[in-house]
Amino acid sequence: MSPHIEKLLVIQDRDRRLIQLEQQLRRIPSERLEIEERAKAAAGRLEELKLRLKQTESDRKQLEVEATAKRAQADKYRSQQLQTKKNEEYQALAREIEGCEKAVREIEDRELDLMEQAEKLAAEIKAEQQLLHEVNAQADRQRAAIAKREADTKAEIEKLKAERAELSRSVDESFLGRYERIMRHRRDAAIVPVQHGNCGGCHLQLPPQTVHQAKGSEELVTCDECGRILYWVAEYEHAPQAAR
């Protein structure tokens, strides 16, 4: 293998790792957003339950006011009943009292329903508070883990970039330029092995002349199909086809 290729392969190895790491970095903002949204959703559910409980309590207070008014009205009719001498009027007031008492019973039934609802909501709130606590604790751990991963990734990127700069100083400039153009274009690999007579990048069969050149030439030989730089390694040619 030509020393140019050997050096470029090392650079390619660093570049591929760099591409990988930069992809990982780009995913971090959406990972962060996901964590914040989960925490926000849990807090929102708790708020919603608290609002419902508050509404239930204010509904119950309203009913209590209505019941008190009905009871007062019934009392008023009762005192009117005591004062009346007319049987007809007495009976009419009795019906009014009965109406008030019926209304009070209905209100009390609704109050009981609301109290049951409030109890259920209070239990749900307690469970949701516990859940929110867990979600927040988990979010804190995840935030810390992401921050650490981000810092580690950035540090590794810096290290690789420095290494790559050092490596590239020892490579022929025109070869490096060609390599970089192909890498920018292909993203996955600019230098690929000849694999059983095929290009290791696009996998199409190479003309025997190209394979021959890749095997012996000091020049950079490229695949006509995809433009990637080719190199020849003996193990591919001697390995059985099935083991590829």
Site residues, Zn ion (CB under 5 A)? 199, 201-202, 223, 225-226
Rounded to the nearest whole angstrom, what is the least distance from the CB of residue 5 to Zn ion in the complex?
A: 16
Cβ closest to Zn ion, residue 100 vs residue 183: 183
Least distance between Zn ion and beta carbon 203 (Å): 7
Q: Which two tokens stand for residue 141?
A: 């751990």
The nearer residue to Zn ion, 131 or 204, going by C-beta atoms, is 204
Instruction: Select 56 or 195, whichever has its Cβ closest to Zn ion.
Output: 195
Single-letter amino acid, residue 206: L
- Residue 198 Cβ vs Zn ion, minimum distance, rounded to whole Å: 8
31 pairs with which residues across the strands?
Answer: none
CB of 59 or CB of 180, closer to Zn ion: 180
Q: What is the chain's Cα-based Rg?
A: 41
**Start-to-end CA span in the chain (Å):** 20
Smallest separation (angstroms) from Zn ion to the CB of 224: 8
Our CB check for Zn ion shows the closer of 135 and 226 to be: 226
Least separation in angstroms between residue 210's CB and Zn ion is: 10
> What contacts 10, CB < 8 A, 6 or more positions away?
167
CA distance 179 to 167: 14
